[in-house]
Amino acid sequence: MTTKPLLEVEHLRIDLAIGDARFAAVQDVSFTIMRGETLGLVGESGCGKSITALSLIGLLRPPLNLSGGAVRFDGQEIQNLPADEMRKLRGNRIAMIFQEPMTALNPLSTVGRQIAEMFVLHKGKSWAEAERLAIEALVSVRVPAPERRVKDYPHQLSGGMRQRVMIAIALACDPDLLLADEPTTALDVTVQAEILDLIKDLCAARGTAVLMISHDLGLIANMCQRVGVMYAGRIVEERAAEEIFQAPRHPYTNGLIASLPLLGARARHGRQRLKEIAGVVPPVAAFPQGCRFHPRCYAASETCRAVDPVETHLPQGGFVRCHHHV
């Protein structure tokens, strides 16, 4: 018996409109997520990670639009779903948490009310029942004194507590898939680790699949079974997390790993200079011809300047998109 993926994304294309011109901000992006699996998307700022996640649940707005490819969720094509059906899917079966919970939470409503709303809207519960479930949801995300906290407004909570509330809202309806876009970037390092552990534990216990987005390869390596490395609107390498970390095949992945701080060395020497990849991700309208990474790549050749590399599928699973991959 073959198991079908929970999410299948095929040849996704997202266009950015500038005046009358259209530029592919994301092009030919394909990946799958199995039930209960955690896939990481990693890459520098501006690579297209967030807009990829937003496109999956119909949240792209002009000047961006999903212009090609297919998104199948649990066997159903959802890229052209009518808005009301997409709204039902969102929150109920696919949930999302963002970097800054303050922007996603309503400042004028108590956190208890905002969690309870999920049970009323999506599960048809009465308000009395939903308020009881909201307290249980706060217990599950390890918020102390939940009976008191449900009466708090978002601004009365710390950043870490707000993110716990967002997780409680996201997981309230027991979704099959959680999209987590830089969920800890705005938090202190110690709080970051607690929130990541919480996401990992809750999703593992409930069998929730996760698409985890971060610019931090270290975080992704800890959280994910498989990793897709994005550069300039493309996935350039996609493999099992341990393999990619031990033996990167794409020069960009190699550069990301080389720029990670080595904790041991830093502890010994106090400070450590990181090897950065020279240059920055170009804006969408200035993606280069040929391989989009070639202007920053140590291995670039004439072929790379002229010919866009295709995905080379690897015998042990996954792929790499590079003319000179190792």
Measured from the CB of residue 181, what is the shortest distance to ligand ATP in angstroms?
7
Q: Shortest Cβ distance from residue 167 to ligand ATP (Å)?
A: 20
Residue whose tokens read 């899917």? 89
Of 4, 11, 63, 289, the one binding ligand ATP (CB under 6 A) is 63
CB of 301 to ligand ATP, least distance (A): 26
**Per rule CB under 6 A, is residue 251 in the interface with ligand ATP?**
no
Q: Which of 6, 12, 24, 25 binds ligand ATP (CB under 6 A)?
A: 25
Nearer to ligand ATP, 90 or 215 (CB): 215
Cα–Cα distance measured from residue 180 to residue 247, given in angstroms and rounded to the nearest whole number? 26
Least distance to ligand ATP from the beta carbon of 129, Å?
38
Beta-strand relationship, 7-18 and 21-33 = antiparallel
Residue 235 makes contact with ligand ATP by CB under 6 A:
no
- The nearer residue to ligand ATP, 62 or 144, going by C-beta atoms, is 62
For CA atoms 202, 207, 213, 218, give the dihedral sign. Answer: positive
Query: Which contacts (CB < 8 Å, 24+ apart) does range 145-152 have?
Result: 149/111, 149/112, 150/110, 150/111, 150/112, 150/113, 150/115, 151/110, 151/112, 152/110, 152/111, 152/112
Kindly state the DSSP code that residue 186 receives in the 8-state scheme.
T
At its nearest, how many Å lie between ligand ATP and the CB of residue 104? 15
- The first and second tokens of residue 196, run together, are 């990541």
> Is residue 284 involved in binding ligand ATP (CB under 6 A)?
yes
Q: Does 228 engage in binding with ligand ATP (CB under 6 A)?
A: no
| Residue 165 interacting with ligand ATP (CB under 6 A) | no
| Torsion, Cα of 17, 83, 86, 29 (10° steps) | -20
Query: Going residue by residue from 29 to 58, which x/- string records binding to ligand ATP, judged by CB under 6 A?
Result: --------------x-xxxxxxx-------
Cβ–Cβ < 8 Å for 74, 176: yes
Binding site for ligand ATP (CB under 6 A): 16, 25, 43, 45-51, 63-64, 215, 283-284
